[in-house]
Chain A
Amino acid sequence: MASIGKIARRTFLVGSVAIAGGVAFGYYAVKKPHKNPLLDDLANGEAAFNPWVKISSEGVTLITPHTDLGQGAYSMQAALIAEELDIEFGQFDVDPGPPAAAYYNTAIGPEIAPFRSTDESFQANAAREFFGAVGKLTGIQGTGGSSSVPDSFEKLRLAGAVARETLKKAAAEQTGVAIEDLKTANGAVILPDGSELKYTELAATAAEIKPVQNVTLRDPSQWRLVGKPMQRMDIVPKSTGTLTFGIDLEFENMHHATVKVNPRRGPMLSYDASAAEAMRGVKRVLPVTNGVAVIADNTWRAFKAAEAITCDWGPAPYPAEQEDHWNAVANSFTAEHLDNEWRHDGDADAALEAADSVVEAEYRAPYVAHQPLEPIGAVIMVTDARVDIWVGNQFPRFAQQQIADVTGHDVDDIHIYGQYVGGSFGHRLEFENVTLAAEIGNQMRGEIIKLTFSREEDFAQDFPRQITMSRGKGVVGNGKVDTFDLSIASVSASESQFGRIGLSSPGPDGQIAAGAWNMPYAIPNYRMTAYKTHELAPTSSWRSVGASTAGFFADSFLDELIHAAGADPVEERLRLMDHDVSRKVLEAAAEMSNWGSPLGPNRGRGVAFVESFGVPVAEVIEVTMTDAGIKIDKVFIAADVGKIVDPVNFDNQVKGGVVWGLGHAMNCEITYSDGMAQQSNYHAHEGMRLHQCPEIIVRGLENAEKIRGVGEPPVPPAAPALANAIFAATGKRIREMPFNKHIQFV
């Protein structure tokens, strides 16, 4: 079995290859459940019916392995288990659990299949099943790609149901009452006479019996929690300063560390720490990969000492100046850089050839940093026997491997304790805080150390979003869009990201085209071609990944064509749409915004529609051109995720996604000079401020067949909707992010 796992791991990131070859995993390997990691250290009288529910006489613990980055993952996972387990918030604890194959993500695999999410053909579903099996065999535990809800939705309710039925069986054994006569509610089994046996009172008996496996899920009409407004369990702790983030952890005799690593990501040639070593509170200065670490008795003293170290940095392994990055992208619209022709309906060449006039446009999207508000770091203790590390990471099993590579421990001896994270947006998919902590801990075995990056260091070492450009050619006639031919050239963030941990991705990178090739439009001639630029500065997944840029290009260019055709932006999009669920989303946004009603002078309205991560999202934005610049007045947004687990959190996530998309489109970019990122803190990479925030009106639809996550999909349509609105208000077409290079905002 191990060898199949290995093969699967190596092929995990294939894009479109491998399916035709028909790699077959034995039925057994795919069906066999992963081992329950909770069984490893159960105390006497403690029961774990499956990897998600642990009960002892002391209490009930629900295991919520998806990392909580602020998106409410812990509460969502707990609610799904609790729905079937008949237990209420406040009656259980949650714990992210140990990294384990049992927590492999069931939803990421199928999404790798290179088919439009609307494609329900036999081939598409067979491919999804194949990649789902790969996901299972590789045991990749991941939080990302808006997959936490789809991964958890059925699985965790089943886990809750199994636990409930097993507890009923235990109660039947303990009391002699027939199972059929038992009910459950409020964390207890209810006997026919109305008396209760708390789950905790049943733990010892339940620990002795085999979990019941034949369970059926409740009908949605019986749901108590799912679909109803909830109060996330972290709301009160986060509103009172009592929630402990990773950066807040405190241990006895803990040292405070920081790092200073080559901002050009090249080697460190030499360093002089003599001044730093003499500073108050400084305990050690240690070499780490491409830089140094300072260990002190206070974080600020470590920061100050790091500043006092002079380092001779080697050159960057990529072009030193930003202009050369742009040139490299601009020069890769060539056959040798062809990554994939993702779609070609009709005959774009013939249509362009035959046209009297061709609409052409070129777009750009820059590097952008993640920079969640909690800087990265970790608390670590390495001993000869084991490694203990407290850190929130979205790929905990990869993190284990990264640490093992540094310290030489067996992966099983690396214990990761997941922490609440102060935002990620893709930042915590990376490992530099984890590996640097491991390097420090390894040189100071037996000591406990908290590593904290300064904001400046975090900016310098962040792996930004892909840099990318797009060129569109199109033809319109008779008031209609006839030909849409879009090319995108981009570095591959996925290749860069997974390459850093030794995973290759031999196929084309679907993210380069995400949001652009899969538009649900029946345009007579529709071609979408992706070109891959070789790696420049290293990049990574940034909230909504490829669609954050490709969606901007595709929808903006479509909007240009619609205007060239003299058609109405909503009506023409609706006319072209060939997907019912998407149509209803766009219709909703149009209706919410009262599309077509007069707005008055200096005002404009723009619409955009992008589907990403299987979620169709439409946004209508209203802006006013004021003397001080563009003011974003209102955003109307509709999205269809199939089923909304918690409408309160859904609304918050959607609004946050809009703010994220707009803020970065307005004013953020990372540029390189002398091989270093020129932006070092929020003054130079600000995002949106409260006074710029529009009123955001949200509507969630539930027409789609499959349930989806909403962390990312609201982001991609924000930028094109804003650009389209600015065009409507001012006549100025903005084709480059950040927009403040071309127009002022209030």
Chain B
Amino acid sequence: MRLTVNRATYEVDVEDDMPLLWALRDELKIKGPKYGCGIAQCGACTVHLDGIAVRACSITTKQAEGREITTIEGLGTPDALHAVQEAWVEHQVVQCGYCQPGQIMSAASFLSMHPEPTDEQIDQAMSANLCRCGTYPRIREAVKAAAAKLQGA
């Protein structure tokens, strides 16, 4: 199968039903998307498929074939942070950080669809991503700050 990840194309030889997460992590060695639950409960594996946040553990590699896959590595880099990442750094959101690639990918996708989100929309959109460390108050602040940055940009 041919996959397009972060604008690069890769050939992978995997079963059609292998979850995209494991093709990314174990075949392509792209480790930003994390394994947390495997059943679409935690959001740690969140990536973008044609710009929309999806749970990479719960879509198959086949379903992602021929689509534009973006992982946290493709969103921004330490030297060129995406606005959402900038906000995450400024608000020092992370604790263990394991959920955060997924949180950031969810937030980026959400903000691209809701540039001026209400508090309630933020709460709704971000509740699918579990954070066992409890960084929720800072996630809220950072999403708002990111929205402002994106508006200003």
Using a CB–CB cutoff of 8 Å, the interface residues on chain A facing chain B are 69-72, 231-232, 234-245, 247-248, 250, 256, 280, 297-301, 303, 371-375, 420-425, 452, 454-455, 648-649, 652-653, 655-660, 663, 681-683, 686-693, 695-696
Contacts and interface: CB of A to CB of B under 8 A. Distances in A.
A653 B124 CA distance: 24
Contact of B96 (A373, A375, A693): A373
B22 A373 contact: no
Interface of B: 14-15, 18-19, 21-22, 25-27, 29, 31-39, 41-42, 44, 71-73, 76-78, 81, 85, 88-89, 92-101, 104, 123-124, 126-127, 129-140
A692 B76 CA distance: 30
Contacts of B34: 245, 247, 373-374, 422
B89 A235 contact: yes
A241 B88 CA distance: 12
B96 A652 contact: no
B98 A422 contact: yes
Contact of A236 (B42, B89, B101, B131): B89
Contact of B136 (A657, A659, A683): A659
Contacts of B139: 690
Given A239-B89, A241-B72, A682 B37 contact: yes
A425 B134 CA distance: 12
A299 B35 contact: yes
7 contacts: A70-B95, A70-B133, A240-B77, A240-B85, A243-B97, A247-B35, A681-B39
B135 to A, nearest CB: 7
B26 A232 contact: no
Contact of A244 (B31, B96, B134): B31
Contacts of B85: 239-240
Contact of B134 (A232, A298, A422, A659): A659
B123 A371 contact: no
B134 A240 contact: no
Contacts of B123: 690-691
A546 B37 CA distance: 28
Contacts of B32: 241-242
A683 B94 CA distance: 23
A239 B104 contact: yes
B41 A689 contact: no
Contacts of A657: 134
Contacts of B99: 373
A656 B134 contact: yes
Given A372-B132, A373-B130, A688-B136, A238 B94 contact: yes
Given A374-B98, A652-B138, A682-B42, A239 B22 contact: no
B127 A690 contact: yes
Contact of A652 (B38, B89, B104, B135): B135
Find the residue from B41, B77, B137 having the highest chain A CB count within 10 A: B137
A692 B140 CA distance: 12
A239 B140 contact: no
Contacts of B38: 303, 454-455, 681
A72 B94 CA distance: 10
B81 A240 contact: yes
A691 B44 contact: no
Contacts of A687: 130, 132
Contacts of A689: 127, 130
Find the residue from B72, B76, B136 having the highest chain A CB count within 10 A: B136
Contact of A237 (B44, B78, B124): B78
Nearest to A256: B26
